Amino acid sequence: MTTTPERTWQGPSAPERLALLRRTRSIAIVGASNNPARASYFVTTYLLSSTPYDVYLVNPRETEILGQPVYPSLDALPVVPDLVDVFRRHDDLPTVLDETLAVGAKALWLQLGSWHEDVAARGEAAGLTVVMDRCVKIEHARFHGGLHLAGFDTGVISSRRALA
C-alpha cells in the first residue's frame, strides 16, 4: 500500500491569491489541450472569454487551440508571462519549474490535483509566487463573482422574476 506524503508546504492565502490575480496581466497555459474534455481547454475558454488576461498557450504538439496560436515552449512565447498555469504530469513539474525560472515569469500555478513540495520550495527560493492544487478559473470566478453552483457565470444579476 502506498502512502501519500504529508503536505507541509503552505501556499498563499486567499487575499494573496487575489492580489496575484489582480497584478497578473498575462498567463501562459503549459499543457494546453485542443480536447474539450480536458480541464485545460475549459480553463482556456474561460480565461479568453471572461478575463482581461493576455493568454498564451503552450503545447509542442499543437499549433492552434480556440483560434489562438500555440507555442512549443515557454521560451518561444513573444512575451514573458506574469503567471505560468500548469496542466502537466507530476513528473514533468520540475522541468516546467526550470523553464518558468529561465524565462523570468513571476508566478507558477499548479492546477487542481497537482502538488509537488520540492517544486514549491525551489520556486519560492528563486523568488516565484507558487500556488498549488487550485484552479485559476475557479479562483478568478470566486473572487470576481462569477462562480455559481454549476461553475458558470450566467451574466444575469437580477432579483426580478423573468417575464413569461
> pLDDT tens for residues 47-77?
999 999 999 999 999 999 999 999 999 999 9
- Which amino acid type is present at position 59? N
Structural domain boundaries of the chain? 14-143
Categorize the per-residue pLDDT at 40 as very low, low, confident or very high, splitting at 50, 70 and 90. Answer: very high
pLDDT of residue 158: 44
- Which amino acid type is present at position 41? Y
> pLDDT tens for residues 104-121?
999 999 999 899 999 999
For range 84-105, the mean pLDDT: 97
pLDDT of residue 4: 58
- For the domain made up of 14-143, give the CATH fold: Rossmann fold (3.40.50)
pLDDT of residue 6: 75
